[in-house]
């Protein structure tokens, strides 16, 4: 049977009896194909080998070994990449918007200027990763590890970083406006002129951190954070009486 869809003729094959899981997958594929036809977009080639600019939009790429893969400029928006090993991979300029990378490994990966808007990254390993200029707006990064990562100039507006580790990370020029830093560890982080306007800092660990040049920080944020006598404060702000905090659980 041939039908007209968005001005194009599409041949429909007879339906077969499918399992519930197969039916869901078939429906998802059909809906994505219909969307692409209406939007005149190219259908992601999920079977393509990893390469620069590869189109894996919405593809299932979970638990793969892609260490040192050359994926610069790749289209990975909406992809399922939970548990995948991308250590030392080149993802510069790649689009991972709304992708799921829970428990994936990006240690020492190049994600400079990558688009990571609304990325889902629970307990993900970004140790030593290059994220300069990356867009992590509204990304879900709870309990992830950014130790030693370079996030200079990164966009982290409204990012969820609860209980994440940014120890030793570079955040100079980063924008954390509205970010949730509840119980986040910033010890030894290099903040420079990072912006903290309206960032939530409940029990954020800032012991010994140099905050003297950060922008947008107010007294109420410090009052809920955890610093000590070695914490350097912005001009006009003072250490609250509650410092130092007890060890976190």
Tell whether the model's pLDDT for residue 242 goes beyond 90: yes
Burial of residue 70 (number of CB atoms within 10 Å: 0-12, 13-18, 19+): middle
Q: Domain for residue 56, yes or no?
A: no
Q: Domain for residue 101, yes or no?
A: no
**CB distance 102 to 84 below 8 Å:** no
Strand ranges inside the chain, DSSP E: 2-5, 8-11
Q: Domain for residue 248, yes or no?
A: no
Q: Domain for residue 39, yes or no?
A: yes
Structure confidence by residue, pLDDT tens digits, 178-209: 999 999 999 999 999 999 999 999 999 999 99
> How far, in Å, CA of 164 to CA of 80, rounded?
22
**CB distance 132 to 152 below 8 Å:** yes
Structure confidence by residue, pLDDT tens digits, 12-70: 444 444 445 445 545 554 555 554 444 434 445 899 999 999 999 999 999 999 999 99
∠157-158-162 over CA atoms, to 5°?
120
Domain count, the chain: 1
Q: Domain for residue 172, yes or no?
A: no
Q: Domain for residue 33, yes or no?
A: yes
The predicted pLDDT at position 92 comes to 98
Residues with Cβ within 8 Å of residue 68, at least 6 apart in sequence: 87, 88, 89, 90
Q: Domain for residue 247, yes or no?
A: no
Range of the domain at 33: 1-12+22-43
Q: Domain for residue 29, yes or no?
A: yes
pTM for the predicted model, two decimal places? 0.82
């Amino acid at each position: 049977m041939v039908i007209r869809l968005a001005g194009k003729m599409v041949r429909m094959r007879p339906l077969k009896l499918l399992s519930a899981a197969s039916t869901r997958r078939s429906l998802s594929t059909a809906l994505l194909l219909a969307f692409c036809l209406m939007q005149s977009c190219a259908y992601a080639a999920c079977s393509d080998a990893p390469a620069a600019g590869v189109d894996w939009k919405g593809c299932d790429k979970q638990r793969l070994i892609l260490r040192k893969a050359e994926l610069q400029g790749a289209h990975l928006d909406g992809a399922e990449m939970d548990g995948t090993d991308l250590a030392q991979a080149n993802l510069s300029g790649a689009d991972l918007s709304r992708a799921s990378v829970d428990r994936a490994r990006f240690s020492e990966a190049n994600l400079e200027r990558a688009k990571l808007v609304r990325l889902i990254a629970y307990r993900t390993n970004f140790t030593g990763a290059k994220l300069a200029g990356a867009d992590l707006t509204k990304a879900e990064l709870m309990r992830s590890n950014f130790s030693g990562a370079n996030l200079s100039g990164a966009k982290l507006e409204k990012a969820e970083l609860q209980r994440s580790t940014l120890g030793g990370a570079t955040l100079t020029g980063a924008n954390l406006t509205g970010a949730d830093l509840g119980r986040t560890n910033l010890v030894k982080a290099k903040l420079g002129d990072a912006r903290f306007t309206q960032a939530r800092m409940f029990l954020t660990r800032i012991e010994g951190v140099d905050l003297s040049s950060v922008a947008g920080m107010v007294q109420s944020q410090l009052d809920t954070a955890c610093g000590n006598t070695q914490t350097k404060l912005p001009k006009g702000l003072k250490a609250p009486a509650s410092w130092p905090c007890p060890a976190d659980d």
